[in-house]
Amino acid sequence: MNKQVRIKINGSDYLMYDEITVLNACRNAGIKIPTLCYLEGVSQRASCGLCVVEIKGAKSLMRACVTNIREGIEIFTNTKRVRQARKTNLELLLANHPRNCLQCNKNMKCELQSMADELDVRECNYPNIRKKKVPVDNSSHSLFRDHEKCILCARCVEVCSQVQTVDAIEIAGRGMDAHVTTFFDRGLGNSECVNCGQCLLVCPTGALMARSEIDSVWKEIDDPDKFVIIQTAPAIRAAIGEEFGFPPGTGTTVRLAAALRKMNFDRVFDTQFTADLTIVEEGNELIERIKMGGTLPMITSCSPGWIRFAEEFYPGVLDHISSCKSPQQMFGAIAKTYYARKLNMDPRKISVISVMPCTAKKFEARRSEMTSAYEYWEKELKLKEKDRFPDVDYVLTTREMADMIKEAGVDYANISGERFDSPLGISTGAATIFGTTGGVMEAAVRTAYFELTGSELPKLDLEEVRGLKGVKQASLDINGKKINVAVSHGLSNAREIIREIKKGKSPYHSIEIMTCPGGCIGGGGQPIPADYEILKKRMEALYREDREMQVRQSHDNPAVKELYESFLDKPLGKLSHSLLHTKYTKRGIYS
């Protein structure tokens, strides 16, 4: 057990537990220490040098993020020597950085830029000595890297390694040749990167960004021959308000629908419609596996980063993953078949735009398997291979959508609320909680219980799978049979679950795996920052909306019922399977 020690900070006495860093001691005392490379609980490489402090008796300045306190230590955080050292270290970073802030997508949101303002660095006393020229990496459908803007803080490297356990990137080279790269410099699109975008959330500059599709979407909107449909994922409503000054956890569902309608989309729909559809299909798939002796445990499939992770690192568990497409891809397939028929419109005139919290959704939309609508119409419209079109045309992140709303001049803070269009905008509370870790499992349990018993679950809230614990589990008695379920979020936790399966020791029937910490609310396309407290507030916003919904179970969605009655026929039927289900690909060296 840690003992308490007496320390001094800037002449004031404090009593704190030992074995904490000087940085955390100062923060506990309400004293801010500037940092760029430090990431609490993840990265403390001490590379930026901005956290230096003066310690009595020490000849040199010490880096606060890697120096522990001890009994009697005296720390000074704002002496002339400290202030000058921080400015010098920041100027050295700026000397090796492009000075074209107005051309950078991170302008006004850049930590390096903010730090220069905070430390009153108005000019750089060192020549602009640029790094060795490394081409922009645009090999990925989801992300791009601009080496010139990288300050080698290694936060992206540590998150990829420690939080997601993917290890797609590392720092290679020395001195002026040092740069963040993939194995053999092949580019993110040719590496084991799963496109999760967690690196984007921690990058302090514009070195790592999502591949923007804003210009392409504007082009679609401006094309008079296109009928442009937009769908918005559950997690968006709990976070996009932060981009417009709302406190974290402010639900802005009706504002979002109204803002999108003002931007001249032809229909404003909700991915929650197909989240309900996913639950019906996936729930029936689980029941069929249990009854027919299929592969168990069955793992959810709505998180494309997790799918890519399994394909790369654990191809042996692909049979455990539900064959259901994600709600995004189900929506695209339904919009260009069922809804196209309702409109009596050529599906090639329909453009489906997604607003997602997830950068991996950009990759998912480009998967070769995601052209089910084309295959549905192929014979009827006499289509050729050159006519092949995707189910989802473009994917915007939450941040991209916020930028577009601002560009369009929509006053998001004061706009009057509106509802989503019908029928693909009708959803339930179960679909709303899809956006948070545990939500998919909770929604699935509500429907699976009904399908197996014919009656409603006595208590809809499954508290055991809520919260931000890495792995959660619950057991339910359904018709005298014990059903065990588990939930994990963040790929390091997914590995723990998969190891049990590979050893044949998994006690579960169903498992939910989400790629990002917190689930979709913590996706790589969400507003920055996305720390623990912010994730909790976004999570509660979704649970609050669920509680306020009149219909809270996916199988009770009237629009989903009508979809089956008039088009799909039944869950797991022939048409359902061709439009709503998919297959997976073994990738990487583990295949």
- Taking 80 as the threshold, does the pLDDT of residue 588 lie above it? no
Selected catalytic residue, list 131, 361, 362, 472: 361
Cα 368 to chain centroid, rounded: 22
Selected catalytic residue, list 153, 302, 358, 516: 302
Q: What is the pLDDT of residue 44?
A: 86
Quote the mean pLDDT of the chain: 95
Q: Which residues contact 370 (CB under 8 A, 6 or more apart)?
A: 325, 329, 332, 364, 390, 391, 392, 582
Question: Which range has the worst mean pLDDT, 99-103, 160-164, 263-267, 327-331?
Answer: 99-103
Strand, coil or helix: 197: coil
**CA triple 558-563-564, angle to 5 deg:** 100
Is 54 designated active site? no
pTM value is 0.95
Selected catalytic residue, list 192, 220, 281, 285: 285
Region 279-290 average pLDDT: 95
Is 565 designated active site? no
How far is it, in rounded angstroms, from Cα 453 to Cα 414? 46
Share of the chain above pLDDT 90, in %: 90
Strand, coil or helix: 400: helix
Selected catalytic residue, list 47, 142, 161, 322: 322
Cα 542 to chain centroid, rounded: 16
User: Does residue 298 contact residue 511 with C-beta atoms inside 8 Å?
Assistant: yes
How far is it, in rounded angstroms, from Cα 116 to Cα 124? 10
- pLDDT band at 131; cut points 50, 70, 90: low
Give me the DSSP letters along 119-145. Answer: TT--S-SS---PPPP---B--SSSEEE
Is 322 designated active site? yes
The residue length of the chain stands at 591
Question: Which range has the worst mean pLDDT, 93-97, 248-252, 489-493?
Answer: 93-97
Is 149 designated active site? no
Give pLDDT tens digits for 14-48. Answer: 999 988 999 999 999 999 999 999 998 888 889 99
Selected catalytic residue, list 65, 156, 516, 520: 520
Number of H helices, E strands in the chain: 20, 17
Q: What is the pLDDT of residue 1?
A: 55
Could you give all domains of the chain from N- to C-terminal order, each with its CATH number? 4-94 (3.10.20.740), 100-210 (3.30.70.20), 215-580 (3.40.950.10)
- pLDDT band at 2; cut points 50, 70, 90: confident
How far is it, in rounded angstroms, from Cα 155 to Cα 38? 7
- pLDDT band at 556; cut points 50, 70, 90: very high
- Taking 70 as the threshold, does the pLDDT of residue 538 lie above it? yes
Selected catalytic residue, list 192, 243, 282, 545: 282
Is 358 designated active site? no
Q: What is the pLDDT of residue 369?
A: 96
Q: At 268, which helix (H) or strand (E)?
A: strand 267-270
Q: What is the pLDDT of residue 269?
A: 98
Is 150 designated active site? no
Question: Which range has the worst mean pLDDT, 257-261, 300-304, 477-481?
Answer: 477-481
Q: Which residues contact 575 (CB under 8 A, 6 or more apart)?
A: 567, 568, 569
- Taking 60 as the threshold, does the pLDDT of residue 294 lie above it? yes
Q: Which residues contact 339 (CB under 8 A, 6 or more apart)?
A: 229, 350, 423, 424
Selected catalytic residue, list 364, 400, 512, 545: 364
Q: What is the pLDDT of residue 176?
A: 81
Is 364 designated active site? yes
How far is it, in rounded angstroms, from Cα 294 to Cα 298? 9
Q: Give Dmax (Cα) for the chain.
A: 83
Is 51 designated active site? no
For the CA atoms of 287, 372, 525, 535, the dihedral, rounded to the nearest 10 degrees, stands at -10
Give pLDDT tens digits for 187-229. Answer: 999 999 999 999 999 999 999 999 999 999 999 999 999 999 9
Please report, for residues 59, 66, 84, 350, the alpha-carbon distance to residue 53 in angstroms, rounded to integers and kept in the order given: 12, 11, 11, 59
Q: What is the pLDDT of residue 567?
A: 98
Q: What is the pLDDT of residue 580?
A: 98
- pLDDT band at 127; cut points 50, 70, 90: confident
- Taking 90 as the threshold, does the pLDDT of residue 178 lie above it? no
